[in-house]
Amino acid sequence: MAQPPCGGLIRPAFTYIQANQEVYFIDSSITHNISVVRSWDMGYLGGTIGDSTEFFHYFPDTLPHNVCLTLTDTAAGQFCQTTYCRQVRSDIDGYCTGVVDPSFVVSDGTVNGAEFTSTSTILTPAESYWELGDGTTDTSAYASHTYLWPGKHYVALNHVAYDQQSQSYCRSSAERWVAVDGNGATCNQQLFANFSSSGNGSGFWTFNAETVTALAQVGLEVWSFGDGSISIGPIALHQYIDGLSSHQVCMLTAAVDGLQDTCYAYVCHTVSEALVGLEEVRPDEGLVVWPTPFTDGLTISLGPTARSTRIQLVDALGRVVQQTQATTDLFQWSLPTVPSGVYVLRVEQNGAVRSIVTVREGH
């Protein structure tokens, strides 16, 4: 049996902060509330970690380590497994402060593709590289990439600079989920998935599967609507209540060939409607936080928000220092009593966690 594209509903990802050989890892996966088992491979001499979402790990040397997070879904007797990997350098002293301000913009590419442009401000010479979410890296300021499968991919733009004063390396990064439209299949041209959609202008949408195949269809269509909810069936009805005018909708379907081998097809389209009084916001615009470093508070642009959005400020020991509930797309958070140091800002919504590193300057 061909393995289904688990990435349709289960997409692993993680972010991390570090101080030399001690690194703090944070799971940022999308699971659509599906129960999964996590397994971490910490790379050469790093060993393995069990089902953890946040933890510290000490590397025994200062070499690069290929760290991988694998998510396994065994519900209802199924076995579906997918893996996300990043190279972690354990010779980094900490987060770059004041010398690099990382950021990037995304534009549509070809089918299954996207184009990424660095808009970072770099005040000191730095090594820069992209991690494009499927194991591909790129060292140019502009990266164009075509993925095997559409859907959301966790993309990171990293900058590594050398601090002459401390005689050590520091790292900063801009990271977020990017929605890529297109089609993918495990059986070449034997199964082609597509769907039509129509909206009424007030958040109600109808989606109709339009699958083309000469094989025997399994009769399974699984939909994800881009707001954390899913549905099953050839026709899907959905109402959006998050106030956004754009969502990426994806459909997974399957068929069986004459050898009783199951093949899968996966299609994603971004659907949009004009909502009166609201500015167009794409779901892949991601989490943007400023200023970094901050002193008394943060301004947070949440991108694809939801009514269930929770924001936490986590310190380098994994402790929740402050937490709040977002009430607007552009949220201002007063943090006058937070001690100086490196923090992870965690945004939990729609069954997914997005994270970004930020720094609190000294009082």
Q: Is residue 278 part of a domain?
A: no
**Domain match, 128 and 84 both:** no
Instruction: Kindly report the CATH number assigned to the domain that includes residue 154.
Output: 2.60.40.10
Dihedral sign (CA 316, 304, 149, 209): positive
- My answer on whether 303 and 254 are in the same domain is no
Q: What is the CATH number of the domain that holds 339?
A: 2.60.40.1930
321 part of a folded domain: yes
Does the residue 277 lie in any domain? no
φ/ψ of residue 285, rounded to 5? -70, -25
Same domain, 157 and 203: no
How many angstroms separate the CA atoms of 162 and 198, rounded? 52
Decide if 280 is inside a domain.
no
Residue 69: the pLDDT is: 95
- Shared domain check, 209 and 149: no
The residue range of the domain holding 75 is 1-90
User: Which domain-ending residue is among 180, 204, 233?
Assistant: 180
Phi, psi of 238 (to 5 degrees): -150, 145
DSSP for 148-188 reads SS-EEEEEEEEEEEEETTTTEEEEEEEEEEEEE-EEEESST
Do 353 and 29 touch, CB atoms closer than 8 A? yes
Is residue 117 included in any domain, yes or no? yes
Write down the pLDDT at residue 131: 96
**Ranges of residues in the chain whose predicted pLDDT is under 50:** 1-3, 274-285
> Which residue type, as a one-letter code, is found at position 173?
S
Q: Which residues contact 262 (CB under 8 A, 6 or more apart)?
A: 1, 2, 4, 218, 254, 255, 256
Domain presence at residue 268: yes
Tell whether 50 and 111 lie within a shared domain.
no
Among 90, 111, 134, identify where a domain stops: 90
* CB 150, CB 185: distance < 8 Å: no
The C-alpha atoms of residue 108 and residue 115 are separated, in whole angstroms, by 6
Which residues neighbour 303 within 8 Å (Cβ) at sequence distance 6 or greater?
176, 281, 282, 283, 284, 285, 286, 287, 288, 329
Cα 282 from Cα 239, distance rounded (Å)? 17
Q: Is 279 part of a structural domain of the chain?
A: no
| Tens of pLDDT, residues 186-235 | 876 677 888 988 887 778 898 988 877 777 666 678 999 998 889 988 88
Q: Map tokens 């109709």 to a residue.
A: 208
User: What CA–CA distance (Å, rounded) separates 190 from 5?
Assistant: 16
CA nearest 190: which of 222, 209, 216, 223?
216
Q: Are residues 78 and 147 in the same domain?
A: no
Work out how many domains the chain is built from and give that number. Answer: 4
In the beta sheet, which residues pair with residue 320? 314
Report CA-CA distances (Å) from 98 to 101, 110, 279, 286, 316: 7, 36, 32, 22, 19
Q: Count CA atoms closer than 13 A to 36's CA, side-chain side.
A: 28
Q: Any idea of the CA torsion for 20, 160, 56, 16, to the nearest 10 degrees?
A: 170
- Asked if residue 255 belongs to a domain, the reply is yes
| pLDDT for 100 | 84
Q: Among 180, 211, 233, where does a domain finish?
A: 180
